[in-house]
Structure 1
Amino acid sequence: MSRLFLMADSQQIVLVVALARPLNTTELAHSGSSSSVVFSHWYMQSILHARGFRYGFEVWWRSRPAKLVGSPVTLPRAVPDEGCVRAIHEDFRHNFRKLESWHLRHRTKILDAKYDKSLAQIQKELRAPAPEQVDTLQFRRSHAILATASSGVQVHVEGPLDLRGTSAWAIDGEPVDLISCEDNVCTFASPVSSSGLELEQVQTLSSVADVHSEFVSVWAARWQQHTTVDWSRFLNFVRAFLPSRPFDLPDIDASMWSRALRRFKPRAARGPDGWARDDLLKLPPQRTAELLGLLRAIEAETQPWPRQLLVGFVCLLSKDNGRTDTQGYRPICVYSVIYRAWAGIRAQQVLAILRGLVPEDLFGFIPGHETTELWYAVQLEVEQCCQAGDRLLGMSTDIV
């Protein structure tokens, strides 16, 4: 009969079956010698109380995963006959092989997970670093010197100086120590050259108020240039001269909404409202239906947009152009995931309708087309004119 050995560690119990030379316990038990009988009973008891099985081997036998036909329901207390011994052996070997197969499968999964983790780590290390956030701005300014005092410690410069933050000063490349500046008259700690033509300033702004003020002064003129535009003239022109077409959009249903959300990356940026992509995907169906009902009411102009959806974070991305002032960064707005998902659905539907209405040579944002088609068409016209000797005039512009 097979002897059973068990080895255990902190993670799992590994069963090892040592298929020794078959032992005919029946013959041992009936050989007549007292030592053979004692050994047979001890051998059977050692199997019943084998260590490593929860509550013992006998309890495990009654609840084992696989039970072969012909195996005893319970283990005998006395020494079994040869047929019973073989049935127990075959049954246990079958269960042990299933355990080995299970262990190998899970070990493969663990190894695959470690491999995937190592690949993810390599990809993370090779990935381009995240863009740096703006914490300081550095400006380089030049001020023409109009006059220099006879003592050499004061100069009169053109235009007012910006003394916010910290600044390093130089006159024609020579560093100077500025003490004060009043009414465009700068006082230095030591005399400067009377032949100096230009006062150079390297200004560093680090306070939130100063950095914000600089970006507002640059970008407000672009972002708010249409606040005073009379849109009624434009709309009246559209109504009077542009062709009218039926324009019906279907209601956004739950499946359409789910597909739009799944197009976002799992860690897509949140807006000021705090809603994440996974938060919206895991909403109960009733809450999702209420949200879609709110969007339909907004489209029907019976409900206003919630303020939380009309506010966006302004993030500044580096242009990598070597500039350290406001011209070195590009602002982008991050609105709510709810608004972005809704806008994506409607934009896709509107563009699909416009595809059959716009001219054939309009490619931007039109489904099935791309802007490279425009340059391909221009190259064809240039080539044809070169071959035919014709003149070709044109221009390219980007509407902001």
Structure 2
Amino acid sequence: MLNLTSPILSDGLTTRSISCPNYSLRGFVNPSSKPRPLTAKPHQEIKTPHLSAVAANATEPLLFSSRAHERDQKDRRDQKDKLVVIMGATGSGKSRLSVDLANIFSGEIVNSDKLQFYNGLEITTNQMTVQERQGVPHHLLGEVEPEDGELTAAEFRSAAARAISGIVSRGNLPILAGGSNSFVHALLAERWDPETYPFNGRGSICSDLRYDCCFIWIDVAPPLLFEYHSRRVDKMLERGMFEELAELYDPKNDPGESWTRIGLWKSIGVPEFDRYFRKYPPQKTREAANRDDWDAARKSAYDRAVREVKENTFLLAMKQIEKIQKLRSAGWDIRRVDAAAWFRSALSSPDGDGGSGGRRCKEIWEREILEPCVERVRDEVFCLGEKQMTATYY
């Protein structure tokens, strides 16, 4: 059992609220408007009839029974908590979208990338920096120490459910974001068997979900995604991925032993560069930091490791997309958002990944990705029509 920052709850945790959370539509609705329940429409005055009027129109005596109170309490408990679930292949923009939506809808983010649970390899695993999080609360991100072992799907199911319950209790919107689809299924499935794997043909995908989910799938054509991954890996290496992996490398670990490939050590980049570091140990790497001085054999070994990282990242992305398609086929209402236009713009930007693409990249992101997702969340989570919103979220 792992030691998380937040205690693990038992799997008997309920995912129902006693009352509807009072979500705030920060940046979307007039801030002077009064809080309202989810079912109320904006600017609609909710009037409670006087008791005498109710009694006058009643055909039977007005009874205040404990039975009626119990029915009302049961109806409230049976209402599932609402949850936005952002899905997609690695590198598709899930983290960026989750922060944008959280800023608009007063949300908090629960991480569902099983390699980002751990404290370490922030560059290699593409954890969002504090600056990129923009002050939005994140849960289960960098909270597990690698030495504590591997976080299981059952532990994630309990810990994430507790995080979501806490977010709802604060009146905020929980947003689940990450690419570990087996963990997403473990969390959301009403009936879940920890002994089976839902994507290998022997297990089954549960279509009955514990939450009222609004699914968003950021998708892009494989050729664009492969090119983007290639450039992103290059950027990660520039930011210090190579040095980060050198710090983690331990020559005592036998790459053939299964225990050395658990938790954080499963990250793409670790096994690929382990083979390099065995031939060129990190202490010698630090002595020869200037790669222009490397001989041809060493440059070739390095280039091979980089190439394998890029290829394995793309293979992971294809597996993630395949699992999302299986979830859709099983009845999950996962709506696809085509991100091709933004990826083309990002690849043509000066830095090759959209980070400094300027106004054009930002406009395409907002028009092609953010706006459709805002509409979906608004319609499904808040049940609000087009004319009832003030679209001032940019």
Same fold at TM > 0.5 = no
Q: Which has more helix, going by share of residues?
A: 2
Q: TM (normalized to structure 2)?
A: 0.20
Q: Which has the higher contact order (CA 8 A, sep 6+)?
A: 2
Q: Which has more strand, going by share of residues?
A: 1
